[in-house]
Amino acid sequence: MIELDTDLLVIGAGAAGLVTALSARERRVCLLYAAGTASELAQGGIAAAVGDDDTPALHAEDTRVAGHSTNDDRAVRFACESAPAAIAWLESLGLRFARDGAAWSLHLEAAHSRARVLHAGGDATGAAIMRTLRREVADAPHIELLPRLRAHALLRGPGGVNGVTAISVDGAPVNVRARDVVLATGGLGALYSRTTNPPVACGDGLAMALAAGARVDALAAVQFHPTALDVAASPLPLISEALRGAGARLIDDGGRPIMAGVHPLGDLAPRDVVAGVVHAEQVAGRRVWLDATNLRVGDVAQSFPSASRQCRDHGIDPQRAPIPVTCAAHYHMGGIAVDLDGRTSLPHLWAVGEVACTGLHGANRLASNSLLEAVVFGQRMGEALARLRGGPSARARPAPAAADDDGRVDQELRELMWRCLGPARSAATLKEGLASLAARRAPSAQAPAARWLLVEAMLRAGLAATTSDRTRPRIPSSTRWDRAAIPRSHPCR
Ligand SMILES: Cc1cc2nc3c(=O)[nH]c(=O)nc-3n(C[C@H](O)[C@H](O)[C@H](O)COP(=O)(O)OP(=O)(O)OC[C@H]3O[C@@H](n4cnc5c(N)ncnc54)[C@H](O)[C@@H]3O)c2cc1C
């Protein structure tokens, strides 16, 4: 067993982990991470009210409407008001967001009442942000890197969480002790058989925190993206919502627009609404297509190079033929319950980014608000941690349960998640999920791995939510939609 000691341990090197590490300059930071991030896959961009016709208050209002008003107001205000400064900070690090002449080039995405999504590197914004942050981290003398390690259990001492036990790619166990531990391990889409998330996004950080007794929130609130490319691949390539913002339309086998008459925002209705309609079409045995053939020749390839390349890799020319799409698990709104600084309910354990639940997104994330969340909450947490005095950690012992060591999620479990806690969940499917879980666990008398605890907790939370209707994806009808909730200035009004 390799034993290491540090002051501040940040687990995860996506946007949230990197920004936290950079912002905690006064601390000695150790950044431990496995391979792969969702951050570098982000295409659409990052939302900020920087346009002349826009304000943080409008951004906040759109965030609340998309989240069905179940958001935490303070988190919404903080994120939307901090967004313009976050863009300026990223540019101060050398990142260049796209402009039309002297003005920002701003894109419209679902449920935004203004074009406010900034792109960098075409539709490879996440990759551009990650390149910039990684360069800064490489130059930061206070940060030490521990790559190719998979954390699988938190260590606890008398004063709270004080480290992690991890395993290297060649199987060597490593204990890292720290005075403060930050979980920045991302989401859990890879627990589902259909997902846009990389394999590493399988909820390890959340599972570890749950096993250690941390408070969690909105566990069943999973967002399904309506337009993953419907091909035999895992993860499924994402076809950015910005294509619909530019005029592409969702159609059925017969070429009929599937969002017509369903919602006043049509193809740009909130994600849960569009995903519900796409899934209903699929359950009825029909395929769904994204028709971008009406866009100007060259527009798709130039403005959406990643989406265009992914289509061509699968033999599809989006300029000539509709793109086959499916919904897929995409983002987890729930997570480890934290305050605005990222403190969890366990002493010395902090969480940030997709693994945390600040309440920013409510029941449904507004598109392009999660890179923003990673940056603004990462900065805020890093600064809060910097204000605390660092020091040596106390003696550690492992928390009771560990995530599965090899990090792989078995296919049967992924199918179960899609069937029972997917876009068409119901009390019956959730009960079926709990029963199959119990049956699968019965033959082994061993303590359950943390991932099983997490899946069980998610199914139970889903069951509880079917009665409250707060985290259930909706199959919408225009009569159920509260038109008054759409900002007066929105183009559809
Ligand atoms: C295809 C796709 C497109 C997206 N597009 C957009 C978009 O346009 N705009 C937007 O705002 N959001 C978008 N999102 C969502 C957004 O990318 C994520 O929510 C956000 O990047 C999460 O950042 P994070 O730092 O919390 O997690 P991640 O970027 O996923 O980073 C997690 C880190 O934790 C590490 N890790 C995980 N488990 C362990 C473990 N057990 N041990 C050690 N390390 C571990 C990983 O290796 C990684 O370094 C998209 C997501 C996907 C999948």
Decide if pLDDT at 438 tops 90: no
- Look at residue 475 and tell me if it is in a domain: no
Q: State whether 169 and 291 are in the same domain.
A: no
Min mean pLDDT across 21-30, 302-311, 362-371 is at 302-311
- Look at residue 299 and tell me if it is in a domain: yes
Q: What is the mean pLDDT of residues 59-74?
A: 96
- Please count the structural domains in the chain: 3
Q: What is the mean pLDDT of residues 237-241?
A: 89
Q: State whether 65 and 149 are in the same domain.
A: yes
Looking at residue 243, which CATH number applies to its domain? 3.90.700.10
pLDDT of residue 466: 86
Q: What is the residue range of 444's domain?
A: 411-468
Q: How far is the CA of 214 from the centre of ligand 1 (A)?
A: 21
Pocket test for ligand 1, best of 23, 31, 37, 404 (most atoms within 8 A of CB): 37
Q: State whether 204 and 350 are in the same domain.
A: yes
Pocket test for ligand 1, best of 148, 371, 454 (most atoms within 8 A of CB): 371
323-332: strand order across its sheet: 222-229, 323-332, 288-291, 249-252
- Look at residue 267 and tell me if it is in a domain: yes
- Look at residue 493 and tell me if it is in a domain: no
Q: How far is the CA of 78 from the centre of ligand 1 (A)?
A: 21
- Look at residue 20 and tell me if it is in a domain: yes
At residue 390 the predicted structure's pLDDT band, cuts being 50, 70 and 90, is low
* Bridge partners (DSSP) listed for residue 251: 257, 289
* Bridge partners (DSSP) listed for residue 166: 151, 174
Domain boundary among 355, 370, 398: 398
Q: What Rg, from alpha-carbon coordinates, does the chain have?
A: 22
Decide if pLDDT at 445 tops 50: no
Q: 3-state SS of the chain: helix, strand, coil percent to 5?
A: 35, 20, 45
Domain boundary among 328, 357, 382: 328
Q: State whether 174 and 162 are in the same domain.
A: yes
Pocket of ligand 1 (CB under 6 A): 11-17, 32-39, 41-46, 126, 150-151, 184-187, 196-197, 200-201, 204-205, 238, 331, 353-354, 368-371, 374
pLDDT of residue 307: 86
- Look at residue 380 and tell me if it is in a domain: yes
Which residues 6+ apart lie within 8 Å of 410 measured at CB?
none
Domain boundary among 307, 328, 349: 328
Tens of pLDDT, residues 176-218: 999 999 999 999 999 999 999 999 999 999 999 999 999 999 9
- Look at residue 22 and tell me if it is in a domain: yes
Looking at residue 183, which CATH number applies to its domain? 3.50.50.60
Q: State whether 205 and 296 are in the same domain.
A: no
